[in-house]
Structure 1
């Protein structure tokens, strides 16, 4: 649906009265409150003309006094600034639907305001402000017209977090063989802590970055939205002394095998609108998990017809048979998809030879299964080659592409991804990105963008010795961080023991398929593993939706426990996972989730918690009591039978 805007004028100070008013008056004129007054951002200028901002919620500090400004090759906007004008407050409504999300239909209203500054040479810079019930955002804009390109050498934007806060941050890995790819552990830190024991050498912290502030009374997520080809993806610098986290651009050596230039700084002609700096705020961690502020700020959908875009579930042979690229193996997983009622199967690396030898794509389409195929990023970087290849794949019957090994947040890569989504949509192809950056609201703008990796997922039972011990804890952090940024291809349900033996229970692994939000859920593991499942678990996989109409947070404790209620159409579930090594009591009020149902089915750990399931069915009562097994999980499905 299109955005709808209405405007209402508030008193503002203009002209000389603004320029020469007291510091207090100027600060007040540069404030913006959310409609009900909970969230507020206030800008101010120091005596040296340095721009600052602060954010409060119910008058309590969330982001303390922090710097704003840009240092460019031709102009400086870090000092010597003066106020030009403050726009009236406008009301902005975002009413739209997501193909992939915690909630299908979004309808939010925001307050907006734009504040214009000039530097000593008279060049203009605008700060756009947005406030809403879920948080605050701001972005920079250069309104002048200029054919000559401007380069930003440094963005001094900072986020001052109180030293007593707790944080969950992921190291931003230095460019390497498969990095940066947002595949490191989220570390529980305090502001000012240095990066410790990352998986790979690191040059900063990733966004989204989660903090608990205000003596534990508020939660904050720092993120980005609406990054396109005019700007690189950004992270946070490693030095956060005093709790000040500052913006860093993608690194120069983030090239992997892509033909990128030597210049890694943001460059654009004018006018130039930059991405949103997003500060999501909540009173509970669950408020962060459920926020849609990142997609609210992203451009509206650019596709008029999205009827061909269908979320779904996919079989995937690589995790269980990484070296077997035979037609027989791929065909086996096509058959498995059909038997489970999945709509998709993914043919990973090596599929082209198998298709030539055995016609695996034709077999899948003949059985009503939609094939997706793997590809290497370099093959899709050149626009003409990409469009030609997409046409070839669509003509073969391919319905989606998994494009791997981007390993860069550079501006050229952001531009490529934006074009790639469009080119894929032109051929009615779905997109799954791997070895990639985190999404930044793109699944609203391009609804055919279904999911992305950028997560320390189940494949790391192959690669990371620390993963089994930390996986359960990470699974209760990522829904409040990575998955808020956008759909997450975690590749759940990895039961077979791999190089580094799993410690999470089988019920925990099953539950991750319903905890993470992904437009296409790519299930790991072998046909034998699926065939060995009890009837109740197999039926759950058949029934399980791939996306949701509604999600509610029941228990939200990052690093400890997570319990969600999720509904889609006639299906209603409660899903929980334990991130700790302890037995944790669970007590749930079922009444509000069981309307229209007479019974509920519970799937938990069986005799061997690591491999077995237990299923019990009860009549609906007002409450249910149980206990999480260590690193355990459960799924409740409401039924009538």
Structure 2
């Protein structure tokens, strides 16, 4: 990754003297988003958010409990500083390739009753707030343990929620949860408790009545902190930041993060809008983080085939992988992903031969690994390699020598700091060996596309494999697809592993679960779901039993985007997005409702242009027509139930 950073900052307000009770206000550059930080006489610090005169977050608590002391009660605001931030950076693995980040920064300096200091930094752009705590060195003490956070988010009455529950620890397949693969509930009142009673995984979407929308998440989590989540709602419509459960990862590791001093927590992020446009288009997960290391390697993004998703474990053999390599070559794809058991079913020696065969077809390879062997019951191999630094480096040296381009590491099952350290260690060692990394059965990526140059995606969602295992998830496919662009995929790359064209989701296309959505729906998700390396669920038989309209589209669809725009939609009902790759604009739309959806859209990116229009005919079969869009960009279309539409400029 080549990050070109250009920035400047200058002081607006210097440190001010403390007052008995203070409010400090900072606005976004356009003046609509306002953050007020308060510290009244009783000494409990808080903040609130107003957007365009509308209350989006009510007075919400700030503070940390640490082993050094409490930064919750009897606090004083002893000063503050403000400055402007104006930064341009480039990034090939998110929804925009060039990002211009402008924000106003407010640093509030607090002191507790023992004279110990903590700073809270707020960065406020036009639609985003990011804030974090910084602890200076406290005397001779060089480190701190954070026992808990007081950090909260208090929403106005009448707010409804779009949330994914945190699961019980050590449940599910081979005791690998939590893995961010639970089911969302849409438009639910705040007072409904989470399914397991453990709160909710980030990101969390809230509808503030008629006033707008708020998306809450976090970014910048690395080896120096744990991954967090939101609690269940408490009295007064308050959600608080909560640390991992002790039982996660088989009880290994502490739930209380620690870091050296001076040091900072991750950023808590809040995206605010009167419409869903700022929610979908936010770049705050990457705006406030920096690359953690430079790379000497040129990593190539792209598409891949993946036998396991439909052909399952039995396909992890030499002959079937040859068929999937040939499929990738026919499609013009860059990669093939070979999943679990390859180490025994193919073996290292024959894998070397298979890699050479793939290279002869101009196809490169990703190989699957388990993350560990001691914090779950996973048997699928290779195991006991990625968690051990000596074994990991030895394995990565072999991978590099064979010309393997990436690894998929699976089954983590926890958010403790120890686990975050493992993610970072895998990424760093992989970059030393020129390897890209995809994570599955894993946590949410938190700014990792910018932080780690060889990171190319995470599952962290109820992804495509669940449609193989249970008909319920096939039945809910359209509903879930209409959630992800607004929530999960808004804050990070999402390696979903979709685009099914088998009607029956088994090897013979004649049994197993049944797909409910149309083929054009599947085309649309190739654009809707953003991940820089996409492993699609195509099968060799699709070359002859699927319309050439679909196959030709899938040969051309990119995985890198220069621009992404929200057009229309409502979470869980329908979504319309536009994305640009170079000079090519793609518009993708899907419908989760039970009725045909007729939309009148403003599409300035297609104004006066000829477009290819992919849609479902009356028999719900794919059709391709050519249209000329009017010079005003007005365009009408109909999306069938569980169907889709795609436009592409010619």
TM-score range with shorter-chain normalisation? over 0.9
Equivalent positions of 1:456-467 (< 5 A) are: 456-467=462-473
Contact 2:111 2:117 in 1 (8 A): yes
CA shift at 1:470, angstroms?
Answer: 2.1
SS in 2 for 1:536: helix
Give 1:401's match in structure 2, choosing from 407, 410, 417: 407
| 2:566 aligned residue | 553
Contact 2:307 2:321 in 1 (8 A): yes
CA shift at 1:629, angstroms?
Answer: 0.6
CA shift at 1:532, angstroms?
Answer: 2.2
Equivalent positions of 1:181-192 (< 5 A) are: 181-192=179-190
TM-score scaled to structure 1, two decimals? 0.92
CA RMSD of aligned residues (A): 1.9
- The CA deviation string for residues 455-485 of structure 1, in whole angstroms up to 9 with x for no partner, is 1122111234432232211111111111122
- The CA deviation string for residues 518-568 of structure 1, in whole angstroms up to 9 with x for no partner, is 011110142102432222221211111111111211113211111112211
- The CA deviation string for residues 23-82 of structure 1, in whole angstroms up to 9 with x for no partner, is 3xx21xx22111221112111113221111111112321110011111122311110111
Task: Please tell me whether residue 276 in structure 1 is matched to residue 267 in structure 2.
Answer: yes
SS in 2 for 1:48: coil
SS in 2 for 1:338: helix
Unaligned runs of 5+ in 2: 373-384, 506-511
1: CA distance, partners of 2:197 / 2:366: 33
Task: Please tell me whether residue 211 in structure 1 is matched to residue 206 in structure 2.
Answer: yes
Equivalent positions of 1:325-336 (< 5 A) are: 325-336=316-327
| 1:341 aligned residue | 332
Task: Please tell me whether residue 384 in structure 1 is matched to residue 390 in structure 2.
Answer: yes
| 1:501 aligned residue | 514
Equivalent positions of 1:529-608 (< 5 A) are: 529-590=542-603, 592-594=605-607, 597=609, 599-606=610-617, 608=619
SS in 1 for 2:236: helix
1: CA distance, partners of 2:393 / 2:452: 17
CA shift at 1:274, angstroms?
Answer: 0.5
Give 1:429's match in structure 2, choosing from 435, 440, 464: 435
Contact 2:523 2:554 in 1 (8 A): no
Give 1:614's match in structure 2, choosing from 611, 615, 623: 623
CA shift at 1:357, angstroms?
Answer: 3.6
2: CA distance, partners of 1:605 / 1:360: 39
CA shift at 1:293, angstroms?
Answer: 0.8
Contact 1:607 1:613 in 2 (8 A): no
CA shift at 1:570, angstroms?
Answer: 3.4
Equivalent positions of 1:356-371 (< 5 A) are: 356-357=349-350, 359-371=353-365
Contact 1:162 1:191 in 2 (8 A): no
| 1:140 aligned residue | 133
TM-score scaled to structure 2, two decimals? 0.91
| 1:235 aligned residue | 229
Task: Count residues with an aligned counterpart.
Answer: 617
Higher mean C-alpha displacement, 448-457 vs 33-42 = 33-42
2: CA distance, partners of 1:583 / 1:113: 48
| 2:375 aligned residue | none
Unaligned runs of 5+ in 1: none
Q: 1:85 to 1:366 in 2, by over 3 A?
A: same
| 1:115 aligned residue | 108
Contact 1:492 1:510 in 2 (8 A): no
CA shift at 1:12, angstroms?
Answer: 5.6
Give 2:304's match in structure 1, choosing from 279, 290, 314: 314
